[in-house]
Structure formats: structure tokens, C-alpha cells
Amino acid sequence: MSPPRGRTRLAAWGLAGAMIIAFLLVGLLSMSLRHPVFTYRSGAGPTPDGQSAFPSSGVTTSAAAGDPTASAEQEPGAAPMSAAALSARAGQGPVPASTAQDCPGATTTVRNKDQLSAALGGANPGDVISVADGIYTGNFTADRPGTLERRIFLCGGPGAVLDGGNTDTGYVLHLDHADYWVISGLTIRNGQKGIVTDTVKGAVLQQLTVTGVGQEGIHLRRNSTGNLLLANTVNNTGRVTPEYGEGIYVGTAVGNWCALTGCRPDESNFNVIARNSISETTAENIDIKEGTIGGVISGNTFSGSAMTAADAWVNVKGNAWTIEGNTGAESPRDGFQTHNILLGWGDHNLFRNNTATITGRGQQSRPRLR
């Protein structure tokens, strides 16, 4: 005897429904493996010195499913991490001391842009270039190295203004393989970028005012290592491209490694950013990129009042950075964030003794997967 037609139809629908549910469960499991959502509890993972890297409150984070930038950014990141990067831990690197360099007596004094360009182009170890008060319009480059024992100095007061003349293109001051320079006291303004270092070791940028630029204020990149950024004022960045309007930017995003560092990490390592005042940036006050290790961010003052393209003062994607003794206010969301842009990066960073006034809906520190 055959079953009633209605019961047969019900059984068929039940079987179809079970198959649909099973298919959805498999899809959800696959999605969860590719785009994990997790809750980070700060007490679970002490830093190398035994202190918790994040405040005691829990932080919930998630990776956005289907983020089109995630897969694109990771293509150049196939290069293996160096042994130094794998073993890096906060506080263990050869970082420079946070000590200002006194400008010696001038060996050359410049009073116009042509004299300045000539002095930069002909500089030798031990030279001291004094920049008289005035406006020097143009894009200036230093590409001759000093030595640790005989630095090259470029010194002036706030009234000595290097003006790029255009926020759409050009670097106001470009240090290109210019090791052991000291840039002190000047005002840098009105360029696409304020100061850019390419493959620079042991430079000191101190007591500068960097303001009114189209993108980032100061950028250390192309394996610029062991440099000191001390007691600078950086503000009013991102006037043309808000998403690139960081105050201080260290390293290179993985998507640009092939263009700038031969498809390998930009190892702009062991740089120190200390006692700077950073405000009115449209992007992060400080952005630390994947590929960098062992730096220090200490004693700085942050403000997020002008941020439109970021949601934290400090974003750390490198490894083994120490972030301590900083004070921030007016963040649109969080104070400090870490991001795992690439597997193995964004880890072993130490946050301690920071003071954060959060006016947005976020938290003092927030780790994220990306």
C-alpha cells in the first residue's frame, strides 16, 4: 500500500530542507575559518617582560568578511620573515637614545633657496648648515651621508621655513641615503609630504614644525633604521588626500613592497618616536607598518580631533614595538590599535603607562585581524 500523497510530499520537503541546512552549515563553517571572529582578553597573553600588553577590559574584534583589500594586499607578502623579525621582542633592539643633538657653530650659512640646494648637494661629514630666517620655496634633497662621529647638521629656527609650494606633489625635504644627518628647528610646510627618508640610518629629526601638507607629515621608509624623531610638532596633514594624512608613518604597506623594497618587507627597524606633539591629522597620528620591528613610541601627545580617515591615534602592524608613556585625547574611536595584516605581523608589541581620553565609542587598545 502506497503512502498518502501528502505524506510523500512532506517527506520530500523534509529531505530537501535537511540538505539545504547541511549546505548552509558547511558554508558557515568555511566562512568562519576564513574570517574568524574572536574575543581578545588582555589577561591571556603577557608580554615578554610579564606585563599585560592591553588594559584589563575585554576587547571584541572581528575581521570583515569579503574584504577585497585583504587578498590583494597579501600577494607581495610571500617573502619569509627574517630571523631578526621572527625573534624580535619589545625592548630588545638597538634603538637610539632619546637625546637631542646640539647644533655646533655654522660652517655655512644660507639665505636663499639656491644657496640651500647647493649646501645640501655638497655637504660633507662634519658640515653645519645654518638656515637664516626666511621662506625657502622648493623641494630640497640631501643625499650625501655623514658618519656617527661626524654628523651633518641642518639647523635653523621656526622662522626658517622650507615651503614646498604645492600640496599636490613633491617632498619638501627628502633625505635619500643621507645617514647621520641632524635636521633641527626648521618649519617644513606646504608639500605633498613633509619629510621623507629613504634608506637612511642614524638621522635625528628634532624640534621641527611640520604642517600644512597634502598627505603624511614625516615618513620613514625603504629600510630607514635607527632614526630618532624627537620633540617635533606635526599637524594639519592630509589636506589633499585624507586617507594618507598620517602625522608620522614608518615603513611601507605590503601592497607597495614590490614597488619600493623588491617585494620584501620594508625593514625600517629600531626607530624612536619620542616627545612629539601630533594633532590635526586626517589619518592616524602614528602609523606603523607591517615589516618593521623593534621601535619605540614614547612620551608623545596625540589628538584625534581632525581624524576622518582613521579611528585611532596609533596603529601598529609591525612587531616588537614599545608604546609607552603617551597621552592622547579626542580619538574618534580607539586610542591604540594593532592589526594582523599578514600572518606573523602585528605581534609581540608592548603597551604600558599610556593615558587615553576616549571621546568616541571605542576603547584604549584594540587588537584586530585583517
**Which domains are present in the chain?**
69-369 (2.160.20.10)
Q: Which tens digits make up the pLDDT trace of 67-88? A: 333 333 446 777 889 999 999 9
pLDDT at residue 250 greater than cutoff 80: yes
Amino acid identity, position 271: N
pTM recorded for the entire structure: 0.80
Q: Which tens digits make up the pLDDT trace of 268-306? A: 999 999 999 999 999 999 999 999 999 999 999 999 999
User: Are β-strands 181-184 and 204-206 bridged in parallel, bridged antiparallel, or unpaired?
Assistant: parallel
What local confidence, expressed as pLDDT, does residue 78 receive?
76
CA distance 262 to 367: 29
Q: Count of residues for the chain?
A: 370
| Among candidate residues 118, 135, 136, the one with its CA nearest the CA of residue 127 | 118
User: How far is CA 347 from each of CA 126, 315, 317, rounded to the nearest angstrom?
Assistant: 40, 12, 8
Q: Which residue carries 660652517 as its cell?
A: 107
CA distance 153 to 106: 9
CA distance 144 to 147: 10
User: 24-28, 42-46, 358-362: which range is least confident on average?
Assistant: 42-46
